[in-house]
A and B are shown apart, each in its own frame.
Chain A
Amino acid sequence: MRSNASHYDLIAPATLDAVLEILAAEPGHYTPIAGGTEIMVALGAGRLAQKNLVSINQIKELRFIETTPSQLIIGSGTTFTDIRNSAIIQSDFPLLTQAASWTGSIANQNRGTLGGNIVNGSPAADSPPALLAYEATLTLISTRGTRQMPYADFHLGYKKTALAPDELIQSITLKRIFTGYIPYARKVGTRNAQAISKVAIAALALIQDDTLEDIRIGAASLRDRPSRLTATERTLRGQTITQDTIVTLISQARATLTTEAHPIDDIRSTAKYRAAVAANLLEEFLHSLMNP
Chain B
Amino acid sequence: MPDPTQPASLSTVGTSPIRKEGTAKVLGQARYVDDLHLPGMWFGATVRSTIARGRITSIQFDPAIPWHEFTIVTAADIPGENTIVHLTKDHLCLASEFVNHPNEPILLLAHPDRALLPAAVAAVTITYEELPGVFTIEESEAPDAPTIWEPAAADHHHATAKNTFKTYLMESGAAADLDHIFATADHIIEGEYHTGAQEQLYIENNGVIAECVTFDGIVKSVTVRGAMQCPYYLVHALELVFNLPEEKCRVIQTETGGAFGGKEDFPSVIGSHAALLAMKSGHPVKICYDRAEDMASTTKRHPSRSRHRTAVSKEGKILGGEIEFALDGGAYVTLTPVVLSRGTIHAAGPYHWPALRIRAKAMATNLPPHGAFRGFGAPQSIFATERHMDKIAKVVGLSPEELRRRNLLALGGRTATGQVITDTVDMQHLLTRALAESNYHAKRAEFARTNPTSAIKRGIGFATFFHGAGFTGSGERRLNSLVKIELTPEGRPQILVASTEFGQGTNTILCQVAAETLHLPYEDILIAQPDTARVPNSGPTVASRTAMIVGKLVETAAQKLCVILTNSDGLPPSYSPADFRTAALAYLAQHGTLVVEARYQSPGDIFWDDENYRGEAYPAYAWAVYVAEVAVDTTTYSATCTDFYALQEVGKVLHPVLAKGQIEGGVAQGIGYALYEKCVWQKGHMANNQMTNYIMPTSADLPPIHVAFEEIPSIHGPFGAKGIGELPMDGPAPAILNAIEEATGIAFTEIPLLPEDIFERMTRTPDAGTEDLNPTIDRDTRVEPEVVTS
B partners with A: yes
Residues of A whose CB lies within 8 Å of any CB of B are 1-6, 44-46, 188, 190-196, 198, 267-270, 272-273, 276-277, 280-281, 283-284
**A273:B700 contact, CB within 8 angstroms:** no
Q: How far is the CB of A270 from chain B (nearest CB, A)?
A: 5
Closest to B640 in A: A192
Q: How far is the CB of B50 from chain A (nearest CB, A)?
A: 16
B247 interface residue, CB < 8 Å from A? no
Q: In the complex, what distance in Å separates the CA atom of A198 from the CA atom of B687?
A: 17
**A191:B676 contact, CB within 8 angstroms:** yes
Interface of B, helix, strand, loop or mixed by DSSP: loop
**B693:A268 contact, CB within 8 angstroms:** yes
Q: How far is the CB of A241 from chain B (nearest CB, A)?
A: 19
Among the 9-residue stretches B52-60, B186-194, B755-763, the one with 4 or more Cβ atoms under 8 Å from chain A is: B755-763
Closest to A199 in B: B636
Q: Mark B453-497, 1 if CB is under 8 A from A, else 0.
A: 001000000000000000000000000000000000000000000
Q: How far is the CB of A25 from chain B (nearest CB, A)?
A: 29
Q: In the complex, what distance in Å separates the CA atom of A115 from the CA atom of B115?
A: 31
A191-B676, A191-B697, A267-B693 given; A280·B115 CB < 8 A: no
Partner of B695, one of A188, A190, A281, A283: A190
Partner of A46, one of B118, B638, B676, B680: B118
Which residues of the other chain, A, contact B695 by a CB distance below 8 angstroms?
Answer: 190-191, 195
Q: In the complex, what distance in Å separates the CA atom of A5 from the CA atom of B113?
A: 12
Q: In the complex, what distance in Å separates the CA atom of A283 from the CA atom of B633?
A: 14
**B700:A284 contact, CB within 8 angstroms:** no
**A192:B763 contact, CB within 8 angstroms:** no
**B115:A277 contact, CB within 8 angstroms:** no
B119 interface residue, CB < 8 Å from A? yes
A4-B119, A281-B635 given; A273·B759 CB < 8 A: yes
Q: How far is the CB of B681 from chain A (nearest CB, A)?
A: 12
A45-B292, A193-B698, A276-B759 given; A188·B638 CB < 8 A: yes
A sample of 5 inter-chain contacts (CB < 8 A) reads A44-B290, A190-B676, A191-B701, A192-B700, A193-B701
Partner of B118, one of A3, A268, A283: A3
Q: How far is the CB of A8 from chain B (nearest CB, A)?
A: 11
Which residues of the other chain, B, contact A191 by a CB distance below 8 angstroms?
Answer: 676, 695, 697-698, 700-701
**B688:A284 contact, CB within 8 angstroms:** no
Question: Restricting to B601-644, which residues have a CB under 8 Å from any CB of A?
Answer: 634-638
B777 interface residue, CB < 8 Å from A? no
**B638:A2 contact, CB within 8 angstroms:** no
**B290:A277 contact, CB within 8 angstroms:** no
Residues of B whose CB lies within 8 Å of any CB of A are 115-116, 118-119, 290, 292, 455, 634-638, 676, 680, 687-688, 690, 692-693, 695, 697-701, 755-756, 759, 763
Which residues of the other chain, B, contact A277 by a CB distance below 8 angstroms?
Answer: 635-637, 759
**A4:B700 contact, CB within 8 angstroms:** no
**A1:B290 contact, CB within 8 angstroms:** yes
**B698:A4 contact, CB within 8 angstroms:** no
Partner of B635, one of A1, A192, A284: A284
**A270:B756 contact, CB within 8 angstroms:** yes
**B636:A188 contact, CB within 8 angstroms:** yes
Which residues of the other chain, B, contact A5 by a CB distance below 8 angstroms?
Answer: 115
Which residues of the other chain, A, contact B119 by a CB distance below 8 angstroms?
Answer: 4
Q: In the complex, what distance in Å separates the CA atom of A192 from the CA atom of B116?
A: 38
Which residues of the other chain, B, contact A268 by a CB distance below 8 angstroms?
Answer: 693
Q: How far is the CB of B635 from chain A (nearest CB, A)?
A: 4
Closest to A198 in B: B755
Which residues of the other chain, B, contact A280 by a CB distance below 8 angstroms?
Answer: 634-636
**A194:B698 contact, CB within 8 angstroms:** yes
Count A-B contacts at CB 8 Å.
Answer: 67
12 more contacts with CB within 8 A, not counting A267-B687, A273-B756, are A1-B115, A1-B118, A6-B115, A188-B755, A191-B697, A191-B701, A268-B693, A273-B755, A276-B763, A277-B637, A280-B634, A281-B635
Q: In the complex, what distance in Å separates the CA atom of A284 from the CA atom of B759?
A: 17
Which residues of the other chain, A, contact B700 by a CB distance below 8 angstroms?
Answer: 191-193
Q: How far is the CB of B671 from chain A (nearest CB, A)?
A: 11
Q: In the complex, what distance in Å separates the CA atom of A281 from the CA atom of B638?
A: 13
Closest to B676 in A: A191
Which residues of the other chain, B, contact A3 by a CB distance below 8 angstroms?
Answer: 118
**B116:A4 contact, CB within 8 angstroms:** yes
Closest to B675 in A: A191
Q: In the complex, what distance in Å separates the CA atom of A87 from the CA atom of B755?
A: 35
**B692:A196 contact, CB within 8 angstroms:** yes
Q: In the complex, what distance in Å separates the CA atom of A268 from the CA atom of B690?
A: 12
Partner of A192, one of B688, B690, B693, B701: B701
Closest to A188 in B: B636
Which residues of the other chain, A, contact B115 by a CB distance below 8 angstroms?
Answer: 1, 4-6
Q: How far is the CB of A104 from chain B (nearest CB, A)?
A: 10
Closest to B116 in A: A4
Q: How far is the CB of B588 from chain A (nearest CB, A)?
A: 50
Q: How far is the CB of A52 from chain B (nearest CB, A)?
A: 18
Q: In the complex, what distance in Å separates the CA atom of A191 from the CA atom of B640?
A: 10
Q: In the complex, what distance in Å separates the CA atom of A259 from the CA atom of B583?
A: 87
Q: In the complex, what distance in Å separates the CA atom of A273 from the CA atom of B635?
A: 11
Q: How far is the CB of A35 from chain B (nearest CB, A)?
A: 17
Among A6, A44, A273: residue with most chain B CB under 10 A = A273
Which residues of the other chain, B, contact A45 by a CB distance below 8 angstroms?
Answer: 292, 690
Closest to B638 in A: A188
**A267:B680 contact, CB within 8 angstroms:** yes
Closest to A268 in B: B693
Q: In the complex, what distance in Å separates the CA atom of A276 from the CA atom of B676?
A: 20
Q: In the complex, what distance in Å separates the CA atom of A193 from the CA atom of B702?
A: 11
Which residues of the other chain, A, contact B687 by a CB distance below 8 angstroms?
Answer: 267
**A269:B118 contact, CB within 8 angstroms:** no
Which residues of the other chain, A, contact B455 by a CB distance below 8 angstroms?
Answer: 284
Q: In the complex, what distance in Å separates the CA atom of A272 from the CA atom of B761?
A: 13
Q: How far is the CB of B29 from chain A (nearest CB, A)?
A: 23
Among B119, B636, B637, B690: residue with most chain A CB under 10 A = B636
Which residues of the other chain, B, contact A195 by a CB distance below 8 angstroms?
Answer: 695
Q: How far is the CB of A186 from chain B (nearest CB, A)?
A: 8
Which residues of the other chain, B, contact A44 by a CB distance below 8 angstroms?
Answer: 290
Which residues of the other chain, A, contact B676 by a CB distance below 8 angstroms?
Answer: 190-191
Which residues of the other chain, B, contact A267 by a CB distance below 8 angstroms?
Answer: 680, 687-688, 693
Which residues of the other chain, B, contact A269 by a CB distance below 8 angstroms?
Answer: 755-756
Q: How far is the CB of B97 from chain A (nearest CB, A)?
A: 29
Q: How far is the CB of A137 from chain B (nearest CB, A)?
A: 32
Which residues of the other chain, A, contact B290 by a CB distance below 8 angstroms?
Answer: 1-2, 44
Closest to A281 in B: B635
Q: How far is the CB of A285 from chain B (nearest CB, A)?
A: 10
Q: In the complex, what distance in Å separates the CA atom of A46 from the CA atom of B680?
A: 22
Q: In the complex, what distance in Å separates the CA atom of A32 from the CA atom of B692?
A: 24
Q: In the complex, what distance in Å separates the CA atom of A277 from the CA atom of B680?
A: 22
Q: In the complex, what distance in Å separates the CA atom of A267 from the CA atom of B756?
A: 12
Q: In the complex, what distance in Å separates the CA atom of A268 from the CA atom of B66?
A: 40
Which residues of the other chain, A, contact B688 by a CB distance below 8 angstroms?
Answer: 267
Closest to B121 in A: A2
Closest to B698 in A: A193
Among A45, A191, A198, A281: residue with most chain B CB under 10 A = A191
Which residues of the other chain, A, contact B635 by a CB distance below 8 angstroms?
Answer: 277, 280-281, 283-284
Which residues of the other chain, B, contact A272 by a CB distance below 8 angstroms?
Answer: 759
Q: How far is the CB of B764 from chain A (nearest CB, A)?
A: 11
Closest to A3 in B: B118
- 9 nearest A-B residue pairs (beta carbon): A193-B700, A192-B700, A4-B115, A2-B118, A280-B635, A190-B695, A273-B756, A193-B698, A192-B701
Which residues of the other chain, A, contact B755 by a CB distance below 8 angstroms?
Answer: 188, 198, 269, 273
Which residues of the other chain, B, contact A188 by a CB distance below 8 angstroms?
Answer: 636, 638, 755
Q: In the complex, what distance in Å separates the CA atom of A273 from the CA atom of B761?
A: 11
Which residues of the other chain, A, contact B638 by a CB distance below 8 angstroms?
Answer: 188
Closest to A266 in B: B693
Q: In the complex, what distance in Å separates the CA atom of A231 from the CA atom of B468?
A: 61
Which residues of the other chain, B, contact A193 by a CB distance below 8 angstroms?
Answer: 698-701
Q: How far is the CB of A1 from chain B (nearest CB, A)?
A: 7
Q: How far is the CB of A184 from chain B (nearest CB, A)?
A: 12
Which residues of the other chain, A, contact B692 by a CB distance below 8 angstroms?
Answer: 196
